[in-house]
Amino acid sequence: MIRGLVLAGALALTGCAATNDAADNLARDRAKTVVNRVVSERLPGVNAAPVTDCIIDAASAKEILNFAAASVAGITQSTIEEVLVIAQRPEAVKCIAQNSITMLGG
């Protein structure tokens, strides 16, 4: 009986983790649409996707949620400024630079 309870508890935790992962992925996907739009508008002609990925990877969970909310409520000047601030973080700058070298064939 105890094994059954432990198994049920483990399955419940696995279900929670899967639900959390799905919610995280949804928020990141929605946030990417916002960040990609900002990057595309600010850097016309640049492949925005790798830059967007770098910015999302450098963003906090709260920032990602802010961007996901902006995908519904609309992009504001505050949203744009937040994207630009994150893009200037050392980890984002390094990632963007590495992706730029890769895109140039280096």
Output the pTM of the full model: 0.76
Q: What is the pLDDT along the chain (106 residues), one digit of tens a residue?
A: 555 444 344 445 455 555 656 567 888 999 999 999 999 999 888 889 999 999 999 999 999 999 999 999 999 999 999 999 999 999 999 999 998 765 554 4
What pLDDT score was predicted for residue 16? 53
Of 16, 8, 10, 98, the closest CA to residue 51 belongs to: 98
Q: Any alpha helices (H) in 43-89, and if so which ranges?
A: 48-58, 61-73, 77-87
**Residue holding tokens 């890769």?**
102
Those residues whose C-beta lies under 8 Å from the C-beta of residue 15, and which sit 6 or more positions away, are none
CA-nearest of 53, 48, 58 to 85 is 58
Domain boundaries of the chain, sorted by first residue:
26-104
Instruction: Give the DSSP H/E element, type plus range, for residue 97.
Output: helix 90-103
What pLDDT is stored for residue 87 in this prediction?
Answer: 96
